[in-house]
Chains A and B, each alone.
Chain A
């Protein structure tokens, strides 16, 4: 995950409390989605950014996992095309697996 984004996630979780933050990912690949999910839960696996060694354990979802939470028209407008293009099942499975292992919320 981009070092600047790591910093923003860290600052937001400190400001509002870890239990009040949900990270919504939009990555297009299962591997990168998994790495981002790991970064905001277990800590930065590349040990490069502000979340290296910091286990926030935040709630983390990929937007595809939240389809039912979003207005159908908005979802179609914002994500409909990408849903046809990306491997939705693989992305969702990867993020779910990380969430179940490391998320505390």
Chain B
């Protein structure tokens, strides 16, 4: 039986300021309820440029150009202390602009629902063709743009507009005349999710030199639902993404669980590889347009830029053991069960300490905990506090209650075993998985040995249960056992052959 390893991870951010205004639920609800509100008037002046978003240190941490810990060296507010030499291209991914997203949405548009104005489409096509991961054949598949009058007439019929720099440059049409699960708005949301996941998958392949046909299965774990009125969440984003990303040998399926879904998916992928079912499984998710500018009202009130201006996406590849990359310990998995109870203490024990206890590990044996990694600069103005810090305090308090650490050492533990939050508040995106790539490089560089990836989800938001959910898995330095064991078994085989030859020789001699 093989050991699953994290072969690579990619992280993508797409700066979408116009979508904040038209697709984020905070602004779009206000448009409907109070179109002339002071808040809506102030939104444009609080939106950032693409360059400002690129230079924003938490975004640089997300795409892998700095380690999350390096944020401790940059004074806050980070939006005022920009990284002047920052680049949109990241070690583990990249940042893209809205025009690039729209053209990839067109590339992902299997049913001719996305219409882009001709000159905009041509310019964006030219821009995206420079991406090293798109082939000429893929770019050639992007159909021609439309005259603006055709787009305007579709908008009059109820299509959702696509804006760029405040101007309409396209639209997304409804996929059915009456089906409420295929409205223009839902199609725009779903195609944006698909497109951002495709970009993350392409980055995963390109930046890690992975052959597209080597991937056998895709698990998609966003928070959107695609389907029609007879099967509203029928799926399958995974296969749709795999198709556009060129994963010709893959099939896949969607895993849901609110913010906990990516860690569930990572555990599922590890289990699939561990069992020998598949050799190579990709875990992918695209961004959520609804969450753009979610805390925008508080940001505007407190004169902070609207920091929720990017769609987030990621892709992680789990493969069989290569003797190098960090292993996913399927024997150190935490889960919040139905019977666990909902007190924060019970939740943290079930996710953090129970799996450690089972394996004779202490809280201090995990070098880094990746929890809900929301950027505190987004959540603090909204009164939600510093979410990762609150999680680290809980882990430290649990450690102190158990006697793993001294109560006086809690602040040191938090600094050493935690890290500042750096991920956009895109629901599933900040939950545990943003650190998988950084953990991989820190483990490969010998900076840490072990990290715990924790995913938590607010299931009650779906109104099906009042329960909360959470799972965790440990990532660990690869002991290189595969090679060692291979070498040993070769030696053993040689020994066995020699022994048999000797016995055979003795048999022949005796027979004589």
Binding site for B on A (CB under 8 A): 28-29, 31-32, 35, 77-82, 84-85
Report yes or no: A81 in contact with B345, Cβ–Cβ below 8 A: yes
CB-CB < 8 A to B384: which residues of A?
29, 32
A sample of 15 inter-chain contacts (CB < 8 A) reads A28-B385, A28-B390, A31-B383, A35-B383, A77-B343, A77-B345, A78-B343, A79-B343, A80-B401, A81-B394, A81-B397, A82-B397, A84-B393, A84-B397, A85-B390
Given the known A-B contacts A31-B383, A32-B384, A35-B383, are A81 and B401 also in contact in the complex, defined by CB atoms under 8 Å? yes
Query: How far does the Cβ of B162 sit from chain A's closest Cβ, in whole Å?
Result: 29
CB-CB < 8 A to A84: which residues of B?
393, 397, 400-401, 407
Most buried by B among A32, A80, A82, A85: A85
Give CA–CA (A68, B400) in the complex, Å. Answer: 23
Instruction: Determine the residue in chain B with the shortest Cβ distance to A29.
Output: B385
Report if B218 contacts A (CB, 8 A): no
Report yes or no: A85 in contact with B394, Cβ–Cβ below 8 A: yes
CB-CB < 8 A to B397: which residues of A?
81-82, 84-85
Which applies to chain B's interface (DSSP): helix, strand, loop or mixed? Answer: helix
Report yes or no: B385 in contact with A80, Cβ–Cβ below 8 A: no
Report yes or no: B398 in contact with A81, Cβ–Cβ below 8 A: yes
Report if B116 contacts A (CB, 8 A): no
Report if B132 contacts A (CB, 8 A): no
Report if B348 contacts A (CB, 8 A): yes
CB-CB < 8 A to B339: which residues of A?
none
Which applies to chain A's interface (DSSP): helix, strand, loop or mixed? Answer: helix
Give CA–CA (A80, B394) in the complex, Å. Answer: 10
Given contacts A28-B390, A81-B348, 20 further A-B contacts (CB under 8 A): A29-B383, A29-B384, A29-B385, A32-B383, A35-B383, A77-B343, A77-B346, A78-B343, A78-B345, A81-B345, A81-B394, A81-B397, A81-B398, A82-B394, A82-B397, A84-B393, A84-B401, A84-B407, A85-B393, A85-B394
Interface residues of B in 391-419 (CB under 8 A from A): 393-394, 396-398, 400-401, 407
1/0 per residue, CB under 8 A from A, across B360-396: the answer is 0000000000000000000000011100001001101
Give CA–CA (A77, B345) in the complex, Å. Answer: 7
Instruction: Determine the residue in chain B with the shortest Cβ distance to A30.
Output: B383
Give CA–CA (A29, B396) in the complex, Å. Answer: 18
Report yes or no: B344 in contact with A81, Cβ–Cβ below 8 A: yes
1/0 per residue, CB under 8 A from A, across B320-350: the answer is 0000000000000000000000011110100
4 nearest A-B residue pairs (beta carbon):
A84-B397, A85-B393, A81-B345, A78-B343
Binding site for A on B (CB under 8 A): 343-346, 348, 383-385, 390, 393-394, 396-398, 400-401, 407
Please pick, from A28, A31, A32, A82, the residue contacting B345 in the complex, using a CB distance under 8 A.
A82
CB-CB < 8 A to B390: which residues of A?
28, 85
CB-CB < 8 A to B407: which residues of A?
84
CB-CB < 8 A to A28: which residues of B?
385, 390
Report yes or no: A80 in contact with B383, Cβ–Cβ below 8 A: no
Give CA–CA (A78, B343) in the complex, Å. Answer: 5
Instruction: Determine the residue in chain B with the shortest Cβ distance to A32.
Output: B383
Report yes or no: A80 in contact with B393, Cβ–Cβ below 8 A: no
Instruction: Determine the residue in chain B with the shortest Cβ distance to A82.
Output: B344
CB-CB < 8 A to B345: which residues of A?
77-82
CB-CB < 8 A to B394: which residues of A?
81-82, 85
Give CA–CA (A28, B407) in the complex, Å. Answer: 20
Query: How far does the Cβ of A93 sit from chain B's closest Cβ, in whole Å?
Result: 16
CB-CB < 8 A to A82: which residues of B?
344-345, 394, 397
Query: How far does the Cβ of B473 sit from chain A's closest Cβ, in whole Å?
Result: 22
CB-CB < 8 A to B396: which residues of A?
85
Instruction: Determine the residue in chain A with the shortest Cβ distance to B397.
Output: A84
Instruction: Determine the residue in chain A with the shortest Cβ distance to B33.
Output: A48
Instruction: Determine the residue in chain B with the shortest Cβ distance to A46.
Output: B297
Query: How far does the Cβ of B461 sit from chain A's closest Cβ, in whole Å?
Result: 10
Instruction: Determine the residue in chain B with the shortest Cβ distance to A27.
Output: B383
Give CA–CA (A65, B405) in the complex, Å. Answer: 28
Give CA–CA (A82, B348) in the complex, Å. Answer: 11
Give CA–CA (A103, B394) in the complex, Å. Answer: 32
CB-CB < 8 A to A79: which residues of B?
343, 345
CB-CB < 8 A to B348: which residues of A?
81
Give CA–CA (A31, B401) in the complex, Å. Answer: 27
CB-CB < 8 A to A78: which residues of B?
343, 345
Query: How far does the Cβ of B478 sit from chain A's closest Cβ, in whole Å?
Result: 34
Instruction: Determine the residue in chain B with the shortest Cβ distance to A78.
Output: B343
Give CA–CA (A28, B400) in the complex, Å. Answer: 20
Query: How far does the Cβ of B39 sit from chain A's closest Cβ, in whole Å?
Result: 11
Give CA–CA (A77, B408) in the complex, Å. Answer: 21
CB-CB < 8 A to A29: which residues of B?
383-385
